Amino acid sequence: MNKIIVILICIFQLAILNSRGQTHRSVAESFLNLLNKYEKDSLKIVTSDDFHLEEGYVRRSIDKAEFIDSFVSFSKIVNGKFNIVRKIEGPELFVFLVEDVSDYITYFDLKAPIWKLTIVTNKGLVTKMISDTTKGYQAYLNKFLIKHENFIKWLNSKYPNETEDYLYHDITGLLNRRLKEFSSLQ
């Protein structure tokens, strides 16, 4: 009888510990899921008021408003998504290695770069996301810059009234169509 009680207590404690881990994991993974779906209203809810994104590779930090209004909007325009390759979990710190996919990667025919995303949570909210490069980023960047420069030259020649900035603010999918057209000529 005593062995059964000890076993039940152990199972109960494991269930409690596991559910606590699930809460933190679900916050970080839910955040990435909402980001990949460009759910601005939901992202506002799951991020703290003092949330900020630190982009280590360019030594830049943006606040919650700029993250929602600029970063998420830009991600939507380029069909950007973070596909989780690997996760490392901590109590309130989650590190993800993610593959960064977008229309640029697809139509420039590049191997998607791997980013290291660190997501910090506190009391069920995401307080910070730190984005940084991994090995191989410089090779990716060099190839991207060459293809991007060729795309801009082509765009200026073929569509002189359409700047890349204009395409970034167009919500009809024009950037995708221009990248696809450019890609078909390569």
User: Which CATH number is 98's domain given?
Assistant: 3.10.450.50
Residue 157: inside a domain: no
Task: Report helix, strand or coil for 70.
Answer: helix
Residue 67: inside a domain: yes
CB atoms within 10 A of CB 45: 9
Its pTM stands at: 0.81
Residue 156: inside a domain: no
pLDDT in tens, the chain (186 residues): 554 433 333 333 433 334 444 444 468 999 999 999 999 999 999 999 999 999 988 889 999 999 999 999 999 999 999 999 999 877 678 999 999 999 999 999 999 999 999 999 999 999 999 999 999 999 999 999 999 999 999 999 999 999 999 999 888 999 999 999 999 998
Task: Name the domain count of the chain.
Answer: 1
The domain in which residue 101 lies consists of: 2-135
Please give the torsion angle defined by the CA atoms of residues 164, 165, 170 and 174, in that order, rounded to the nearest 10 degrees.
Answer: 0
Evaluate whether 127 touches 50 at the Cβ level (below 8 Å). Answer: yes
Residue 167: inside a domain: no
Residue 140: inside a domain: no
